[in-house]
Amino acid sequence: MIRTIEMNDEWIFTKNNSVTYSLDDIQGGEEVTLPHCWNHMDGQEGSQYYRGQCWYQKRLILSSEDKAKQLFLEIGAAGMLGSVYINGQSVGESRCGYSMFRVHLNPYLIPGENLIAIMVDNSLHKDVFPLMADFTFYGGLYRDVKLLVMEDIHFDLQDQGRDGVYLNQKKLGSNTFELEVFGKVINESSIPVMGTLIVQVSDHENKTVLEESQELSLISETAFNLKSEIHNPTLWEGIENPYLYTVNVSINIEGKTYDLRSMKYGFRTLEVTAERGFLLNGKPIKLNGVSRHQDYAGVGNAITKAHMDEDMALIRDIGANSIRLSHYQHDDYFYNLCDQNGMLVWAEIPFISIPSTLDPENQNALDQLERLIKQAYNHCSIYCWGVQNEITIAIENEKTYESVNRLKDLAKHLDPDRLTAQANIYSVEDDSQLNTFTDLVGYNLYYGWYYGEMKNLGERLDQFHRVQPNVPVLVAEYGVDTNPRFHSYSPQVKDYTEEYQLLFHHNALQTFNDRPYVLGGYVWNMFDFGSANRIEGGDSGKNLKGLVTIDRKIKKDAYYLYKAYWSKIPFVHIAGRRFANRHRELNDIVILSNISSIKVYKDQLLLKEINSEKPVKLVQDLSLTAGENHLKVVGVDEHGTIYTDEIVLHYTMELDNSYVYIKKEEARLVVNWFEKFDLTDVKEIELKESCYSTFDTIEDLYTNEKAKEVFLKYFDHTTHNPRFELTKGVMSIEKMSKLSFFNIPKELLTVINKELNVIKK
């Protein structure tokens, strides 16, 4: 039988990089406990965080009994690359920084004490994804490490998967499902034997509802596939009823169990259509979703089960029914939580922002997708595999399409029954060929923050639906950076106030609810997260778009907006409690609640009664008096249960300046940077293929001194961005013009082409 030994304690860690540490003891290291992340501070504080090669070491002493077994080291994840050595010998590596991997130890072990050394590297490798993204690329052994002690005969542990056993389901009739169990058994001995594969399914009461067996001739590798029917199963119905069966799959030889997998599994059907939307078990539901990164204040991404439990509790509290687990494979424990709590999961890989110029086939993205699908295959909560996120930021061409198509094809090959998805940046045209590849399309839309106005969100979705009426669409990201210190009576774009976040998200929710063809959306983000080089709203090192702060201590007002829209658990909440010092006598008070009957009190006097089903209720022109003003809201649900919330507001004579975000002087990329160029009377020209143009990559322009001079004449101010070197191999001026960040007038492209198109290649 399999035994699992935790290997998280007594590791020696050093940031000093020496190849001798594969064999020799680390000198001057520190003792750490896993999970461990070396960017737990600098990865969240707005500095150049440490990226490099670091080492971990641990001594392994085995009992004579264990030495006779088959031993595998399981590394939950190594960010971003991991190389494992046993007694100085290289035994395996991972170039997938968010996936679990295993190495077989037996060929490298010696009697007595053995040295395990793991080199972990989070520096940039131009053929390992992500190459560029808006989050910290944390380094470390940031998940559990385990020793697996196995018999000679066991399920396959080195097929890039997790269980070595795969469960698949197919609905055969109104009350019948087919359960397919397949995989491979490995026989490490030289003796073929006969064995029995036993599949047993039991319900919540531990009653066996299915038991099947299959005789196997176990040679070195033996594939198996067993199909059975299960009648009248209780369905897994998302948050309404996340019913899970226990599926035990074992290998037995002469009455002895050699290996066993015990998995929780739910039966359900998934479908998506442009007309009826997303269907779970044939019933249309709106995807009320949030996105989540896997980090936490002060620990980086070395989060524990307690952290993950806390995150799930908060996500459940607002009533979400779906989670986009961004932008990479998450801990298997969190997928388990999603199964148990009925969360529909968008799972994805870090094929983000820019493709690899070093590897045109983007093989690492394929490798990461294979591991994600195989390792998370048995989680019924996962409804789609995401194959790319904003991969066209710098370039969109035939090679892009080929890469995305290869990923989609691999997903369908490994898992034909789940949906495929992608998340496009706003600049991808509605009629782009890209939108035809996956089963559903998501757009990351930030109208009213990075570009445009809030109202443009609905206009863009309507436009997409007119152009692509048969493509199921949702909003895969939307949000605004918010520092809960900042407040305003007149919230505006980029003021970072709680009040603007509330307006923005209220508009988004109304937009989705008013459009039946929109599958739903994913709030960006449930929690603030580390983005080491960002400076947002007076705070460094973090993306502040969360509904909850990175330390999970402050639930911003928008958190309660979603709870009012989505949750069935009654509550009342008065928004604006951190806007405590008010310098106007008359104030509008926003109440967020899913209770229709509300009473509002000021200084214990009944001020107003509200009867409204609307999640957002407003008390207008509430008059404050000098000093403290005590506000209390009392809600009574249909059962007569009372819910209350209270805040204290101070009427002050002057504005509290601590509530105002003071914008720093704009950088060189100012709004009208192009005004120094003459854009009057610009006439289109016919481009010559033999000469340079705005369609060539920046890197191609740099191969010619004259073409490079033209680029620098217009865009020298962009070369100081740290991302410039990463993108110049795939970015063109034409592509830059489609991104709001660069603010390039259409006329300027013609002016530049007049200069480039006389320079021969």
Annotated catalytic residues are 390
Q: Are 717 and 672 in contact (CB under 8 A)?
A: no
Separation of alpha carbons 240 and 256, rounded Å: 40
Please give the structure tokens belonging to residue 651.
Answer: 């009427």
- Angle (nearest 5°) at CA 115 between 110 and 118: 130
Residue with tokens 């896993």: 34
Neighbours of 312 (CB within 10 A): 20
DSSP per residue, 612-633: ---SEEEEEEEEP-BEEEEEEE
Please give the structure tokens belonging to residue 295.
Answer: 């980090």
Tell me the HSE value of 607 on the side-chain side, using a 13 A CA sphere.
19
Separation of alpha carbons 386 and 476, rounded Å: 11
What type of residue sits at position 721?
Answer: N
Helix axes 363-376, 398-414, angle to 10 degrees: 20
What type of residue sits at position 44?
Answer: Q
Exposure string for 623-638, b = 16+ CB within 10 A, e = fewer: ebeeeebebbbbbbee
Please give the structure tokens belonging to residue 437.
Answer: 């590849």
Q: Are 480 and 448 in contact (CB under 8 A)?
A: yes
Helix residue ranges per DSSP H, 514-582: 557-566
Exposure string for 479-494, b = 16+ CB within 10 A, e = fewer: bbbbbbbbbbeebeee
Helix residue ranges per DSSP H, 677-717: 698-702, 705-715
What type of residue sits at position 181?
Answer: V
Q: Are 339 and 245 in contact (CB under 8 A)?
A: no
Beta strands in 79-124 (DSSP E): 81-86, 89-94, 101-104, 113-121
Helix axes 705-715, 746-756, angle to 10 degrees: 160
Residue 344's H or E segment, with its range, is strand 344-348
Separation of alpha carbons 145 and 73, rounded Å: 7
Neighbours of 463 (CB within 10 A): 12
Separation of alpha carbons 100 and 77, rounded Å: 5
Neighbours of 224 (CB within 10 A): 19
Neighbours of 577 (CB within 10 A): 16
Q: How far apart are the first and last CA of the chain?
A: 67
Using alpha carbons, list the distances in angstroms from residue 343 to 231, 315, 479: 25, 9, 21
Using alpha carbons, list the distances in angstroms from residue 237 to 138, 266, 413: 36, 9, 26
As beta bridge partners, residue 60 has: 114
Please give the structure tokens belonging to residue 180.
Answer: 């397919």
Q: What is the torsion angle, in degrees rounded to the nearest 10, for the CA atoms of residue 20, residue 26, residue 27 and residue 31?
A: 170
Helix (H, G, I), strand (E, B) or coil at 91: strand
What type of residue sits at position 168?
Answer: N
